[in-house]
Structure 1
Amino acid sequence: MRLNVFKNTVLLFVLVLISCGNKFKSEDGVNIVEDTSTALSVTKAIVVGANQTELYLPLLNGKRVGIVANQTSVIFENKMDSIYEVDPETNALILYETQHRNTHLIDSLISLNVDVVKVFAPEHGFRGKADAGELIKDGIDLKTGLPIVSLHGKNKKPTNDQLSDLDIVVFDIQDVGARFYTYISTLHYVMEACAENNIPLIILDRPNPNGNYVDGPTLEKEHQSFLGMHPIPLVHGMTIGEYAKMINGEQWLLNGVQCNITIITCENYTHKTPYSLSIRPSPNLPNDQSIKLYPSLGLFEGTTINAGRGTEFQFQRYGAPFLNPETMTFTYTPQSNFGAKHPKHKDKLCYGEDLSDTSVTNEMTLKWVIKAYKNALDKSLFFNTNNFTKHAGTKKLQQQIEQGLSENEIKDSWKKDLEKFRVVRNKYLLYK
């Protein structure tokens, strides 16, 4: 089966412009480097922070550099490879996908004689192949020979020793905008460690594919974990750069320390701009549909329901052997595969629902979790209570589902917290 490849229609048939940047000091003390070119009456391609080397290479000159990176940390080339196939009925040549050429950030910086000393790797590892939650060991990158320090192994926060031979750190990881997606937790710990060691941090910003809405229950302080460290909704609607500003501004770092951050912003991006990823941000988010569904189906991670792990349709289906086969008529059997060595209900027939062709609106929905719970033949098997609370950020959600509340009733209970968050969020937005 041919793997579904992300398509970024925003980057098709557009004019790519090279423009100068301007560096200034914002009111909250964060250095922002952004495009200041005159807007033209044409649709311009999104340019991610990593691509704007002219803005951050001078900041790395003569410095010993550490980089927080994974497989998404790339510089996109202007050229794109188009892939065609023949329509068997008409023999016409049809363009079915385009793939952007890219070079990894680390390879590019080394070729530009930047003194890259080491790499820090988040969950899933530097090459992004490890299972969710799998502990990653330190190692050596075979291609570059650089030491790789795991931030999802024996420590999630860089130690003083690990930072002792660095002058500056660069953070460049693609996020998907869900609170329990752990890259923003890694961002927190990197910022905290850099602040404590007086090391500046450069953030190469990238668009958030779920950045056009805010939704979900807000994390309660007593349920903080690596799956959620801050009092934000499940869908926060911010880029990594914006989120870093919020971490500083709300004084969420230990003892209120402040990290010296410089953000290389994206060009031609707003929160209303559709954005499609060309590289999997993690092993089990293979395409746009999975990323759009992830905030909703991610809650299944705190239950005994399989959310497509162990298939080629991760976060595009859900099921379990104990769901009612009379109403949940879609079936599949999870098996070991890339990114899921031990999926839930491995080698067992699961009854559930296929969402791979479902239209997804700009909201986080509970309808699938509620439907699965109602169709569980043994409801005592459904929740992994501690894990579900960590994902939801509150105990209330499980209680509301068990009590039989409707989705609208549950969502009404979120409204005040969401309104408060939007006010706070607005202070830190770089893109409107």
Structure 2
Amino acid sequence: MTGHFQVKLGVDVFFERDLSDLQGKRIGLLTNQTGANGELVSTIRLFHEHPELQLEILFAPEHGLLTNVKEGEKFNDATHRSTGIPIFSLYGQSKKPTDAMMEKVDIVVFDIQDIGARYYTYIYTMAYMMEACARMGKRMIVLDRPNPIGGEIVEGNFIDPDYTSFVGLYPIPNRHGLTVGELAAYFNEQFHIGCELEVVWMEGWNRRSFQTDNGLPWIPPSPNTTSLDMMLLYPGTCLLEGTNLSEGRGTTQPFEIMGAPFIDGEELQDNVNALRLEGIRARAIAFTPTYQKYNGQLCEGIQLHITDRQTFKPVESVVKILAVVAEMYAGKLEFLEYGKLRHPMIDLLAGNDLMRRGLLEGNIYPYLQQCSRDSEKFMKMRERYLRYR
């Protein structure tokens, strides 16, 4: 595959430089199938075949090295088939790298594609690795990649300290508008991780650009990451995971559709479109999920169609849509509780109980006001970490 790409990825910048300072260093690579250069050559292969680099260990985040494991499903350590290199699972016995794992390396390199939403666990696997590097005196190198939903727009609220979890470890908004490299720098300083961090920055990335503008091939970072529209909707539609509404898992359009057996799709479509939400239209649909919520049951609901990527607000839109559902189906909309969690799942996703209480009480504005206050605050806090303009 040849061609001129507008954006040069961190991994490509890294392999253009003199790597002799890494000779003799034992390298651990935290990656998955998205770790590939602009020509789609796997980062694992690039490291393994490089004469000066000694790749010792692979670390795999949620969904596994091949991103074929379902969400929330644990997996064990393994061996990489073509290289024989050990793979340590960071979504198995522990989500944090152990001292025993870290003793096998001198440097850890991170190369994973993020999708720009607070709930996406890869950024916390990165943060846990940074903590392990700080604890064990190891160096961390992050190979930067684009934020596929752009780096200008920020939306959402901070997580309250009591509501932190692996879908929200740090107080950053639902849509943060940072690249993984910028996030690593932000986490390292703002939250006093203090690891020896180097970010290999991209060349030619523009904050205003979306994934389809970068001239780069696209590799889905997880099984339900299907399209740019799905990623743009996700900072809002991921909140549905905390409810008894299907977020479309088990269909070909996860996070773009929503529904349940008790919903009348046309009525919901009309009530949502009556809100005149900016940059989005609802269309009535029916679907039958093949796994997860309502597996094998016919659901009605809506598909959310983005009409303007620049003005559309995923968090605000979905919260307002949930308020419509709560009003139309009072008593039928439920918030899921999982035995081992301290709070209902929706509170962990929303970062506090303000949204859930607002939906129950018929007043979501305190939550939306918090979102706009916090995102304004974050815009100022992140300013000094912005590498790209």
Normalised to the residue count of structure 1, the TM-score between the two structures is 0.78
**Could you say if the C-alpha distance between residues 274 and 381 of structure 1 is closer, same or farther in structure 2, counting changes exceeding 3 Å?**
closer
Contact 2:144–2:180 (CA<8 Å) still a contact in 1?
yes
Contact 1:213–1:363 (CA<8 Å) still a contact in 2?
no
**Could you say if the C-alpha distance between residues 362 and 326 of structure 1 is closer, same or farther in structure 2, counting changes exceeding 3 Å?**
closer
* Cα distance between partner residues in 1 of 2:263 and 2:329: 5
1:50 alignment partner AA = V
Aligned to 1:245: 185
**Could you say if the C-alpha distance between residues 326 and 266 of structure 1 is closer, same or farther in structure 2, counting changes exceeding 3 Å?**
closer
Contact 1:305–1:382 (CA<8 Å) still a contact in 2?
no
Greater share of helix: 2
Aligned to 2:50: 112
Is 1:330 the counterpart of 2:270 in the alignment? no
Q: After TM superposition, give the deviation of residue 218 of structure 1 in Å.
A: 1.4
Q: Deviations over 1:410-432 (max 9, x none)?
A: 42232322222111111211112
Q: After TM superposition, give the deviation of residue 356 of structure 1 in Å.
A: 5.2
Q: Deviations over 1:155-196 (max 9, x none)?
A: 111111001121111001100111111111111100000111
Residue 185 (structure 1) aligned to one of 103, 106, 124: 124
1:68-107 correspondence to structure 2 within 5 Å = 68-77=30-39, 102-107=40-45
Q: After TM superposition, give the deviation of residue 56 of structure 1 in Å.
A: 6.8
**Could you say if the C-alpha distance between residues 182 and 104 of structure 1 is closer, same or farther in structure 2, counting changes exceeding 3 Å?**
same
Q: What is the SS of the residue equivalent to 2:37?
A: strand
* Cα distance between partner residues in 2 of 1:397 and 1:357: 23
**Could you say if the C-alpha distance between residues 358 and 305 of structure 1 is closer, same or farther in structure 2, counting changes exceeding 3 Å?**
farther
**Could you say if the C-alpha distance between residues 214 and 111 of structure 1 is closer, same or farther in structure 2, counting changes exceeding 3 Å?**
same
Aligned to 2:372: 415
Contact 1:212–1:362 (CA<8 Å) still a contact in 2?
no
Q: After TM superposition, give the deviation of residue 293 of structure 1 in Å.
A: 1.0
Aligned to 2:247: 307
Aligned to 1:234: 174
Contiguous gaps of at least 5 residues in structure 2: 269-283, 338-342
- The root-mean-square deviation of aligned C-alpha atoms, in Å, is 2.1
* Cα distance between partner residues in 2 of 1:409 and 1:261: 38
Is 1:49 the counterpart of 2:7 in the alignment? no
Contiguous gaps of at least 5 residues in structure 1: 1-11, 17-44, 78-101, 336-341
1:368 alignment partner AA = I
* Cα distance between partner residues in 1 of 2:324 and 2:9: 39
Contact 1:235–1:295 (CA<8 Å) still a contact in 2?
yes
Is 1:376 the counterpart of 2:329 in the alignment? yes
**Could you say if the C-alpha distance between residues 61 and 374 of structure 1 is closer, same or farther in structure 2, counting changes exceeding 3 Å?**
farther
Is 1:216 the counterpart of 2:161 in the alignment? no
* Cα distance between partner residues in 1 of 2:306 and 2:313: 17
Contact 1:327–1:375 (CA<8 Å) still a contact in 2?
no
* Cα distance between partner residues in 1 of 2:288 and 2:167: 28
Contact 2:143–2:199 (CA<8 Å) still a contact in 1?
yes
1:104 alignment partner AA = S
1:431 alignment partner AA = Y
2:258 alignment partner AA = Y
**Could you say if the C-alpha distance between residues 237 and 56 of structure 1 is closer, same or farther in structure 2, counting changes exceeding 3 Å?**
farther
* Cα distance between partner residues in 1 of 2:306 and 2:160: 34
* Cα distance between partner residues in 2 of 1:245 and 1:202: 11
Aligned to 1:267: 203
Aligned to 2:89: 150
Most deviating of 422-431 and 192-201: 422-431
Aligned to 2:100: 161
Q: Deviations over 1:8-33 (max 9, x none)?
A: xxxx9x955xxxxxxxxxxxxxxxxx
Aligned to 1:124: 63
Most deviating of 377-386 and 105-114: 377-386
1:268 alignment partner AA = G
* Cα distance between partner residues in 2 of 1:285 and 1:293: 11
Q: What is the SS of the residue equivalent to 1:353?
A: strand
Q: Deviations over 1:101-134 (max 9, x none)?
A: x110011121213211111000111000111111
Residue 60 (structure 1) aligned to one of 10, 14, 22: 22
Aligned to 1:295: 235
Contact 2:233–2:255 (CA<8 Å) still a contact in 1?
yes
1:112 alignment partner AA = H
Aligned to 1:5: none
Contact 2:287–2:299 (CA<8 Å) still a contact in 1?
yes
* Cα distance between partner residues in 2 of 1:290 and 1:182: 17
Is 1:282 the counterpart of 2:222 in the alignment? yes
* Cα distance between partner residues in 1 of 2:266 and 2:191: 52
Normalised to the residue count of structure 2, the TM-score between the two structures is 0.86
Aligned to 1:23: none
Contact 1:214–1:418 (CA<8 Å) still a contact in 2?
yes
